[in-house]
Amino acid sequence: MIIKRYIVNNMNEAMNRIRNELGNDAIIVSQRKIRQKGLLGFFKAKKLEVTAAVDEKKQPSVPKTIELEKEIIELKNLISSMNKQVDKKNEKKSESKNKFKSNLIKSGIPEEIVEEIVSEIKKRNEGKKLNQKIYEKEFKNILDEIIKINNIDNGKIHVFVGPTGVGKTTTIAKLASLYSLYKNKKVGLITIDTYRIGAIEQLKTYADILGVPFGVIYSNNEINSVLNEMTNCDIILIDTTGRNSKNYMQLQETKKLINEINPDNVHLVISMTTKEKDIKRIIEDYKILNYNSLILTKIDETNSMGSLVTAIYYSNTPISYITTGQNVPDDIEEAEKTKIINLILEAE
């Protein structure tokens, strides 16, 4: 005999539960009204206590179904938690399989670029089983293909553009020293940065130290006269005002001056301490100035080569120089493919 006690709100509820749990053969043994326990129970409506019994043999199939359902749910939960564990293991496995990919991401190269590089490597090796060695070799090949080098010796008039504080003026001073002291060239320095306080004096100081001609262009109609004073120079380096690339109007102003100057080279100077996302934007925004060369500065200030790869990847523009410190003229190097590839690979 099974005896069960039910605390319910009414007889109807009791009957339903008894039928479900004990079956149709169950009988009601007793019923009484009760007050719920505790202080709060005092304010609550009275409940009904119903006791029912059924012969063990006559126990219904309904409770068994409920038990069975419970067991099925438990089993399902068990299987799904096992599946989750297997998924996690597989994830870890494929991650360690593609150590190359995670290493690139760890080195600071944006995931978007890493994904494209990995899928390119897979495409180039279709049907082959890829291992770490192949990945590394192919990455080197890709870098070799996308890195382009510019020779600054080409052309006479060079304009340097870029965001504020990236090292435009310092780079011009370094180059002016290199060309006048080591390459025996006649250098002329010009600034069109009449916006920032102290900018003219900054470049003039370098011109005075090197003993090279110096000019300032305040407006479009002075361009020719200033340039004419430097006709005997082999190379003319022109400094510009640092521009926030998001400021379209400011970039337009610089563009007008550059168009009028009609230089042989426009160098976009980018600091490698700039966030990768911002580099991508700068590269886009500055396109209106038709830059044809990159100068990558402050390489010494970062260990992550994400910015370097980002600049190379999105600009599709040859690199002329990299700069590696504040010292004028020592901390500048001509861009070389192997040097840049090694910088990237060593940073991993």
What is the CA angle 256-261-262, rounded to 5?
A: 95
Query: Among 265, 297, 310, 315, which residue interacts with ligand GTP (rule: CB under 6 A)?
Result: 297
For residue 333, report the phi and psi dihedrals to the nearest 5 degrees: -135, 140
Establish if 166 lies at the interface with ligand GTP (CB under 6 A).
Answer: yes
Distance between terminal CA atoms of the chain? 75
Q: Residue 28: name the closest of 59, 6, 58 by CA.
A: 6
- From the list 72-80, 184-192, 225-233, 292-300, the region that binds ligand GTP by CB under 6 A is 292-300
Is residue 104 within 8 A of residue 110, CB to CB? The reply is: no
CA 255 – CA 193 distance, rounded (Å): 13
- From the list 13-21, 65-73, 283-291, 319-327, the region that binds ligand GTP by CB under 6 A is 319-327
Query: Among 60, 260, 324, 345, which residue interacts with ligand GTP (rule: CB under 6 A)?
Result: 324
Between 200 and 345, whose beta carbon lies closer to Mg ion? 200
Is residue 58 within 8 A of residue 18, CB to CB? The reply is: no
Query: Among 107, 150, 169, 245, which residue interacts with ligand GTP (rule: CB under 6 A)?
Result: 169
Distances (CA, A) of 196 to 169, 191, 192: 12, 11, 10
Query: Among 16, 164, 224, 247, which residue interacts with ligand GTP (rule: CB under 6 A)?
Result: 164
Residue 307 binding: pick among Mg ion, ligand GTP, none (C-beta 5-8 Å cut-off by kind): none
Question: Footprint of ligand GTP on residues 171-200 (CB under 6 A)?
Answer: 193, 196, 199
Using CB under 6 A as the binding criterion, the count of chain residues that bind ligand GTP stands at 20
Residue 165 binding: pick among Mg ion, ligand GTP, none (C-beta 5-8 Å cut-off by kind): ligand GTP
Question: Footprint of ligand GTP on residues 260-289 (CB under 6 A)?
Answer: none
Between 118 and 279, whose beta carbon lies closer to ligand GTP? 279
Minimum distance between the CB of residue 101 and ligand GTP, rounded to whole angstroms?
A: 31
Residue 331 binding: pick among Mg ion, ligand GTP, none (C-beta 5-8 Å cut-off by kind): ligand GTP
Which residue do the tokens 């100081």 mark? 205
What is the three-class DSSP state of 141? helix
Question: Footprint of Mg ion on residues 156-175 (CB under 5 A)?
Answer: 168-169
Both tokens of residue 332?
A: 């500048």
Establish if 301 lies at the interface with ligand GTP (CB under 6 A).
Answer: yes
Non-local CB neighbours of 176 within 8 Å, separated by 6+ positions:
187, 189, 206, 207, 210, 212, 237, 329
- From the list 22-30, 99-107, 151-159, 163-171, the region that binds ligand GTP by CB under 6 A is 163-171
Long-range contacts: 308-311, Cβ < 8 Å, 24+?
Answer: 308/272, 308/340, 308/343, 308/344, 309/109, 309/113, 309/344, 310/109, 310/110, 310/113, 310/276, 310/279, 310/280, 311/270, 311/272, 311/279, 311/283
Establish if 55 lies at the interface with ligand GTP (CB under 6 A).
Answer: no
Contacts to Mg ion by CB under 5 A: 168-169
Contacts to ligand GTP by CB under 6 A: 164-170, 193, 196, 199, 242, 297-298, 300-301, 323-326, 331
